[in-house]
Structures are given as structure tokens and as C-alpha cells.
Amino acid sequence: MFESLKKKLSSTVGKITDKLSKEEEEAKKSEDQDKSEAAQKAGKTDTKKAPKSEVKQEEKSEKRKEKSDTKEPEQEDSLSEEMEPSEKEKKGLLSFVRHKTISEKDVDDILFELEMSLLEGDVALEVAEEIINSVKEDLVGRKIKRKSDVSEFTKEALKNAISKILEVDSQNIDELIQLKQKQGEPLKIMFVGINGTGKTTTIAKIATHFMEKGYKPVMAASDTFRAGAIEQLTHHADKIGVKIIKHKKGADPAAVAFDAVEHAKAKQKELVLVDTAGRMQTNVNLMDEMKKIQRIIKPDLILFVGDALTGNDAVEQARKFDDTVGVDGIILTKADADAKGGAALSIGHVINKPILFLGTGQSYSDIMEFKPEWMVEQVFGE
């Protein structure tokens, strides 16, 4: 999953590291040249003591300015302070790196490249911009002590940016079910989203997921408009052995949902899963119909189901459904086939609602709870 996103991030780490190392080598070359020129000019005059105290002072003031305060480099500092300049010169590379502070110029072009490639990977514009700005903010001004710092800092900065983007307050459905149980009510979940995204399969997956936890769900076939929708959901319900409440095609979807809630109450079932007509989000009648279901059964959760493979389209659909009916959470389907990861990265941040589940395949057990830390691990892990 998300292989291409992973590649983009690690290639950015590589590029920034390479660029700064190259700069370091060049600076070292000119430093060496300066030194030999200075030595030639000075002839045999005493150059030993003056540079030593200069270097010392410089190091000390740098220490005061230091942003990061890890212990190890400090030890190195005191170690090198004790060294004679000649030994220090041998460690020329170390002494240069010690003086390097990452500037905006060092990272600008590479981060611009990253932004473009994130956009190509279906990351929403506002999200790509936020990532770049956050990385820049973290990196610019950081002092590099060792060569390995560059890649470490860059990876850290990217990880921080991605973590911030994925951070959205989430809900725990198990807790919600238990809360409702105490009130003697079922938890009512309404599923919205356009056709073909995997909505009916997802409803069956969610039913399976909670049946495995010991709960009893009932489905409501409230997509009474689309030909075949009732049959499609019935097919899934029969396969997993779940009760489905359905009326005839063209019936009032709110009435179907209402009946399903009554059924759950009568049979002490903990979950009502309501399918809705997945017409385009621009269809006014459909939106009115959804609002009617909302009014009649007052769902506890409205979950938007989107297809990860459609990238920015999924994000735009989520935005429209959220504007019209208000979305509480997101389920992204087909994550198993999604290399780009653009929708997974952007969708929650754009509508400020959590991704709760990822669809990861075609069978009923192919669903996983989404955790931001998991996604961070997925794109930065080995």
C-alpha cells in the first residue's frame, strides 16, 4: 500500500542529503585551499595558537545558539576542544559540518519538486502545501553536526509533517455501541457515497467486523432508487447471515430505515447499518432524500465511503457530502490497490473528519481500523 508515496518521501530525504553533502565537500575543498594559501602567506610565523582560540570561541557561541541539544555531539565538542589544531584539521570534514546551518536555499528546490510530485500523486493542494511548509519550518535553521544528521533531520521533518496532517480527532465505534447499549438503543450508522465505490461491500464488511466482536447488526436497504441496489445488499446480507430490512423498489428510503431501527430495538440488536442511494452528490433530490432519512432516524454516525483509487475525486465527494449532510467519519475502499496514497493522506484533513476504516480487498474480512500511526509507519517503515 502507498508504495509510490513512500518512494517520494524517501527520495526527498536522499536528495536533500546528497545536496548538502555535495555542498559540504565543495566547502571543504575551498577551506583546504584557503588554509594552504594562508599557510603559504604566513610562512613560518606562529599560526598555532591564534586559530585555536578562535575556533574555540566560535564553537562556544555556536553551542549557545544550538537548537538541538543531544548529548552525544556535546561530548564530541569537548573532545575536539582538547585537540590540537593540527589534529582538528585532520578532521576537517567534521569541523565544516559543525558550522553548517540549513538554509531555505538548500531545500527550496527539492521541496518544490516534492510538492509537485505529491500533487501528481493525488494529494490535495492544501495538504501538499502544508506538508512542504511544515518540513521547511522544521529544517531551516537547524545546525548540522554530522553528515548523518541531514537525512535524520529530513526524515524527522517529513514524518512530523505527515503525522500532523493525519491527526484528526477520532471516534471509537465500540465505545459508541456500548454507550447506546446502556440507553437500550442500537447505534445507527448511515452510509453515504456514490455508486461503485464499494459501499454495499463495505456495509457487509462492517457487519462482519462487528459480528466478530459479538454484536448483532441489521441492514436497511434504503437505496430504493437504483435498479439492483436492494438485490445487491440482500446478496451480501444472505452471504454473511445478517437480517436485512427492505421494501419495494421506489419505496420511501426513510421508511425502510425507520423499520430497521424498530427491528433492532425489538430484537435487541446493537447496530443498524443503513445503505443510501449513491447518486452523484450534485443530485438535489438525492440529497433531500438523505436529509429525510437523517430527520426520521437521527443516525448516530454518518460515514462517507470513498474509493481510494479515485484520489482527488474521493476528496471532493467527501467535501460535498460533508457540506450537505455532515459526515462523521470516512471509510476508504480499495486501499489494497492504492499505490499513491493521496486520498488516504488528504481526505481526513480536508474535511477534518477521521478515516475510521480502510477496505483492503474483496472479501468480507478485508477491512482494517485506520490509525494515523499505522499510516506513518507504512510510509516511513523499512
Element (H, E) at 243: strand 243-245
Contacts of residue 330, defined as CB under 8 A and 6 or more positions apart, other chains included, come to: 303, 304, 305, 306, 318, 347, 348, 351, 353, 354, 355, 356
d(CA 324, CA 158): 34
Contacts of residue 80, defined as CB under 8 A and 6 or more positions apart, other chains included, come to: 59, 88, 91, 94, 95
- Kindly tell me which residue out of 334, 340, 349, 353 binds ligand GDP, with binding defined by CB under 6 A: 334
Residue 200 found at the interface with ligand GDP (CB under 6 A)? yes
DSSP, res 368: E
Residue with the shortest CB distance to ligand GDP: 359
- Kindly tell me which residue out of 155, 361, 378, 380 binds ligand GDP, with binding defined by CB under 6 A: 361
Looking at residues 10 to 29 of the shown chain, list those that interact with ligand GDP (rule: CB under 6 A): none
Q: Return the residue matching grid coordinates 535553521.
A: 141
Candidates 34-42, 100-108, 285-293, 318-326; binding stretch for ligand GDP (CB under 6 A): 285-293
Candidates 49-57, 310-318, 333-341, 343-351; binding stretch for ligand GDP (CB under 6 A): 333-341
Indicate the SS3 state at residue 218.
Answer: strand
Query: At CA 349, angle to CA 381 and CA 374, rounded to 5?
Result: 25
- Kindly tell me which residue out of 111, 127, 272, 286 binds ligand GDP, with binding defined by CB under 6 A: 286
Q: Kindly report each contact of residues 87-92 with a partner whose C-beta sits within 8 Å and lies 24 or more positions away, as own/partner.
A: 88/55, 89/35, 92/28, 92/31, 92/32
CB closer to ligand GDP, 118 vs 273? 273
Candidates 14-22, 52-60, 74-82, 332-340; binding stretch for ligand GDP (CB under 6 A): 332-340
Residue 360 found at the interface with ligand GDP (CB under 6 A)? yes
Site string for ligand GDP, 289-328 (x = CB under 6 A): x---------------------------------------
Site string for ligand GDP, 252-281 (x = CB under 6 A): -------------------------xxx--
DSSP, res 146: S
- Kindly tell me which residue out of 336, 368, 369, 376 binds ligand GDP, with binding defined by CB under 6 A: 336
Q: For binding to ligand GDP (CB under 6 A), which residues are involved? A: 195-201, 225, 277-279, 283, 285-286, 289, 333-334, 336-337, 359-362, 366
